[in-house]
Structure 1
Amino acid sequence: MKKFWNRRDADSDPVPGRGSSSSNREDDRPDEHTRLLSNRVDGAPYLSPDHPAVSPYNLWTVRLVRWLTVALTCVTFIWWVLMVVTVFITPPVLHVRGSPFFAFSYTSFALLTLVVSLLFFSVPSRLARILSIVNAAVLLVDTVLILAVPGLRHAEVWVGVASVVWAALMALWFVIADRTVQWGKAEEEERLTGRPESRRTVTEWLEVTLSTILLIALACVVMLMTLTLTLRAVDGGLAPPGERYWVDNDRYQIHVYCSGNRTDAAGAEITTVLLEGGEDPVERGLWQLAENAVKNGSISRFCFADRPGMAWSDTAPSPFSASIASDALSEALSRAGEDGPWVLASAGIGSLYSRIFSSRHGDRVRGILMIDPLHEDLLSRVGNPGRGFFLWIRGVISPCGIDRILGAILRGRRAADRVWGRSSYQSGTTVFAKLQESLVAESLTKRDVASSRAIQDKDTPLVVISSGQRIRKDRDWEDKQRDLTHLTTNLESWDVVDGAPHRVWDTLTGREIIESRLKRLAKTPVLRS
């Protein structure tokens, strides 16, 4: 607690020549309560350090700094709101090709730093300034990292760069504001009380402690984000097996990979199997299945394209429906010089995308194979509000990358695991892609799939392969699988693989059935009326 000093004005000083006892002289010796400065010329008494008039706000410089801090907070809040909106509806100039949650996190850091500054503005702290300097230095490292690594620069574009630079500047502003208040506080205490106050009240100590804890938490977040950026830089060195092509007026890139010859020995065109992944990237399972099918002679050629946000493909602007995804796929294949003919092989939710593609390219589609496909009537499971909120929360914390960092350190996860393998679901781009699916599942996507069913070529050969486990556990799933066998009038087969999970190809029986059905579809010409 602040202590009140003994106040002595000129009238209380001992008068020379009066003769005083030695005890009186000893009382006049300076101690820790003695004022360092003499009383002012006008004779006005000094104030107590606890007096409300003793405030750094008496100085116009301090007041100006506070108002500037308020203005910066308002500007940062507006940018923060734009970053939130961008997740749901992306303005053309604010599209980020990577995860938009990184720019959001940097903006949130800047906003929280300014809020802490305003909440504890009148209680400066040296430790708080040191922490802010550390945060600013780390954020500058992030800026250099983003600008120096081509993959990060391509993904974050100007939005991410501006957000991290702004966060660094706000951390430095915190230091400037706090130092200005400390100077103003010392000036006013010296002017009004006679000496700068070095002690704090209990309330001030509580405020300093709370501000320090908050800044330490922000410092930890920034450090985690830097480690995650480092992992992303490492992952950027993993070259894709195919090529990336610009789509949607060159707003983002789609990764396309093809393997095998386009024509046979006689010069006839070869049917290409076009793979579409489900909840996971194509590279995680279906790619290996297709490679084995080529080696076994079941098929001669295959292609696949990663949906936006998956594996090596950029994220697309929001909203992003199945119809827009089909347009992006068509454009990427066209730029790659791939025009079929196709056998469409898809899994899970990817079957919805393949069905839309089939309805638009019916003359080049020679068969459809769907592996435990999702029915449009069950899109409510994808578009569940609770699931969407959970994905949004995951996206918000994804820049910290705790699970990815621990996976790399403790479990030896490699770049391939994080880009398309078993840890790919932790990526901010993948989380964002799934959030986009969830947001429009019951509206735009359901409408797109219903329209595609109406115009689907009914003569196209169809194969449905279902998970035995899902059918046994879920009666609705079984009913909808049966309904999908009527997608065309040319059903080749409906196979229910006993004991197979949703990823049917994870079982030997499932892989054998898929390969045999692909072989039949790829070798059989379509007879159209």
Structure 2
Amino acid sequence: MKHFLGGRSSDDDDGPSGRSTSPRYNNDGPEANERTRLLPNRLDSDVAYLSPDDPAVTPYNLFTVRFTRYITIFFTFVTFLWWILLLISLFITPPGLSSRGSGFYAFSFASVALTTLVVLLLFFSAPSKATRILAVIMSVFLVADMIMILAIPKLRHQEAWTGVASAVWALIVSAWLLIADRTVKWGKAEEEQRLTGREESRRTLLEWVEVLLSTFFLVVLAVATFLVTCTLIQRAVDAQETPPGVLYWVDGDKYQIHLHCQGNVTDSSGKKLPTVLFEGGEDPVEYGLWHFADNALANGSFSRYCFADRPGMAWSDTAPSPFSASQATEALSEALARAGEEGPWVLASAGIGSIYSRVFSSRHGEAIKGLVLIDGLHEDLLSRVGDPGRGFMLWLRGIISPLGFDRLPAALFRGRNSQDRIWGIVSYQSGKQIFAKLQESLVADSLTRRDVTSSRAIQLRDVPLSVISSEVQIKEDGEWERKQKDLTQLTDNLHDWDVVRGAPHQIWKTLEGREVIERRIKQLVHGN
């Protein structure tokens, strides 16, 4: 009996073995036309099998496999939109998407989910055991991440709903990777048995390349997920540290500011003295100035001091972006009001913190009894802070910060503890502080410059002023010296301009520097 496919004789399709490589239709049936099914029906049992290399042997013949791919494409589209939204929120926070942490962890989870789906789509028709094993490993790590974020109040508070949603979605995607790969494997075996008579155990060179590439990318994702889990464990350990002060909700209860005050509002004779309000520079107040403040308090140079961590620094939450010096001043003022701290104040600030203190001073008028600028940054130099290259490097550091490339070795091999990471020597590695620096950089030469320029115009001219400068900084940077001189003209009541010999930018790191700072603060507090 002669068989035909599309009117062709089966004799034309037989190979050397005499076995047909194409579906055949019995001549007793209807004549083939454009609507004739080319693949044999699953119930047919008397048809010849196809070659395993025939393009018709594909799992895409099954609706289940095609539907799985459609769902994967839909997941990828949704994840990409979420990823873009989180990326934007690192620069400008959309309403309702603010995070009290860095936002980098939510972005990392979204990146893991998006990359997983892209890898799944690229190598969809090449399922492998390695893919399924790696999907299980990733799922285990992501389950641990989700449990830590949900179970530890501090992490849940910082990540907010965006971080929780991103972690849960990354877990769902990793589970979907396992389901999809297993579905394609089943579909591939099903179609091979139906069309070739057996399940194909060999792979073509292209399939091996696809398996190798998918395995490589998934190994990278699994390692990244493991590192994120390690840094979350580190954060969980750090969450046990108790702040020295109190956290106060500000800005409509969007985030919390850490405020610490020490001492009495009156001295030993009962006289009420101004409270010294410290503002940190590039580092938190706790790293250096806190110890100095305690010693000066013990020496009787002043009777009371306070300091607040700017948003994102040390114990304080991060604030929505953009965030300027004016907004930082409003947050500090609200925290002080909630704490019942009314002043009057002597402001002592270092580095870029002088920008914030000057804005605070201009807005509190008669409550300010003195200004001490410790190698303060001039507004004309804010362009250095807002340099695009610096901003990009901060963004890049923030993106990879959840991997802990610097934090994990510092803890394992250099003995860095929770205090070091929160406010100490390696606090600059914290995703929160990196995010705060990124926020600072984004608006330094625009919104913040406008704020401090306005503050100079409305600053009361009779406020006592002391300027303390670093000799090292002046010798290295001629422009810095000119701008330090200009700072001495902020008010008409300059007490002193000290250039501390051999002192670095952090002047309090030298004995002479500490003595000069303490002497000048004492003079302003006691009205000398």
TM over 0.5: yes
Decide whether the 8 Å contact of 2:51 with 2:196 is kept in 1.
Answer: yes
Q: Per-residue deviation at 1:296?
A: 1.1
Deviation by residue 1:496-516 (Cα, 9 ceiling, x = unmatched): 112111001101110010000
CA distance in 2, matches of 1:350, 1:40: 79
Partner of 1:274: 277
Secondary structure class of the residue paired with 1:524? coil
Aligned AA (2:366): D
Decide whether the 8 Å contact of 2:266 with 2:303 is kept in 1.
Answer: no
Partner of 1:439: 442
Q: Per-residue deviation at 1:419?
A: 0.4
Q: Which of 279, 285, 295 matches 1:292?
A: 295
Deviation by residue 1:178-202 (Cα, 9 ceiling, x = unmatched): 1111111111111111111011011
Aligned AA (2:390): R
Deviation by residue 1:113-157 (Cα, 9 ceiling, x = unmatched): 000000000000111111011101110111111111111111111
1:123 equivalent in alignment to 2:118 = no
Q: Per-residue deviation at 1:269?
A: 2.4
1:258 equivalent in alignment to 2:279 = no
Alignment of 1:229-268 (within 5 A): 229-264=232-267, 267-268=270-271
Q: Per-residue deviation at 1:79?
A: 0.4
Partner of 2:4: none
Partner of 1:141: 144
Q: Per-residue deviation at 1:268?
A: 3.8
Seen in structure 2, the aligned counterparts of structure 1 residues 45 and 457 have a Cα distance that, compared at 3 Å, is same
Partner of 1:30: none
1:420 equivalent in alignment to 2:453 = no
Partner of 2:5: none
Q: Which of 196, 200, 217 matches 2:199?
A: 196
Q: Per-residue deviation at 1:9?
A: 5.0
Seen in structure 2, the aligned counterparts of structure 1 residues 183 and 476 have a Cα distance that, compared at 3 Å, is same
Partner of 2:92: 89
Over the matched positions of the two proteins, sequence identity in percent amounts to: 63
The answer to which of 488-497 and 88-97 deviates more is 88-97
Aligned AA (1:147): L
Aligned AA (1:96): S
Gaps of 5+ in 1: 11-38
TM-score (norm: length of structure 2): 0.92
Seen in structure 2, the aligned counterparts of structure 1 residues 180 and 5 have a Cα distance that, compared at 3 Å, is farther
1:329 equivalent in alignment to 2:327 = no
1:388 equivalent in alignment to 2:407 = no
Partner of 1:375: 378
Deviation by residue 1:399-425 (Cα, 9 ceiling, x = unmatched): 011211111110111100000000100
Seen in structure 2, the aligned counterparts of structure 1 residues 285 and 5 have a Cα distance that, compared at 3 Å, is farther
CA distance in 2, matches of 1:426, 1:348: 19
Gaps of 5+ in 2: 1-13, 21-41
Partner of 2:489: 486
Aligned AA (1:497): V
Secondary structure class of the residue paired with 2:273? coil
CA distance in 1, matches of 2:478, 2:132: 61
Partner of 1:499: 502
CA RMSD of aligned residues (A): 1.6
TM-score (norm: length of structure 1): 0.91
Aligned AA (2:394): L
Q: Per-residue deviation at 1:263?
A: 2.4
Partner of 1:36: none
Aligned AA (2:248): Y
Q: Per-residue deviation at 1:266?
A: 5.4
1:153 equivalent in alignment to 2:156 = yes
Partner of 1:31: none
Q: Report how many aligned residue pairs link the two structures.
A: 494
Decide whether the 8 Å contact of 2:257 with 2:309 is kept in 1.
Answer: yes
Alignment of 1:441-456 (within 5 A): 441-456=444-459
1:314 equivalent in alignment to 2:317 = yes
CA distance in 1, matches of 2:279, 2:403: 30
Q: Per-residue deviation at 1:250?
A: 0.3
Q: Which of 209, 227, 231 matches 2:230?
A: 227
CA distance in 1, matches of 2:333, 2:479: 32
Aligned AA (2:404): G
Partner of 1:512: 515
Secondary structure class of the residue paired with 1:495? strand
Deviation by residue 1:202-222 (Cα, 9 ceiling, x = unmatched): 111111011111111111111
Partner of 1:165: 168
CA distance in 2, matches of 1:400, 1:269: 50
Aligned AA (1:275): F
Seen in structure 2, the aligned counterparts of structure 1 residues 261 and 500 have a Cα distance that, compared at 3 Å, is same
Deviation by residue 1:25-60 (Cα, 9 ceiling, x = unmatched): xxxxxxxxxxxxxx9967543221111111111111
Aligned AA (1:486): Q
CA distance in 2, matches of 1:161, 1:459: 52
Deviation by residue 1:268-311 (Cα, 9 ceiling, x = unmatched): 42210000000000001111111111111111110000000000
Aligned AA (1:112): T
Secondary structure class of the residue paired with 1:302? strand
Alignment of 1:34-53 (within 5 A): 44-53=47-56
CA distance in 1, matches of 2:186, 2:434: 47
CA distance in 1, matches of 2:420, 2:127: 46
Aligned AA (1:344): L
1:301 equivalent in alignment to 2:304 = yes
Secondary structure class of the residue paired with 2:199? coil
CA distance in 1, matches of 2:158, 2:242: 15
Deviation by residue 1:453-476 (Cα, 9 ceiling, x = unmatched): 000000000000001011111111
Seen in structure 2, the aligned counterparts of structure 1 residues 198 and 298 have a Cα distance that, compared at 3 Å, is same
Partner of 1:21: none
Q: Which of 349, 352, 370 matches 1:349?
A: 352
Alignment of 1:98-117 (within 5 A): 98-117=101-120
Partner of 1:465: 468
CA distance in 2, matches of 1:449, 1:7: 88
CA distance in 2, matches of 1:44, 1:416: 75
Secondary structure class of the residue paired with 1:361? helix
Partner of 1:180: 183
Secondary structure class of the residue paired with 2:315? coil
Q: Which of 67, 75, 79 matches 1:76?
A: 79
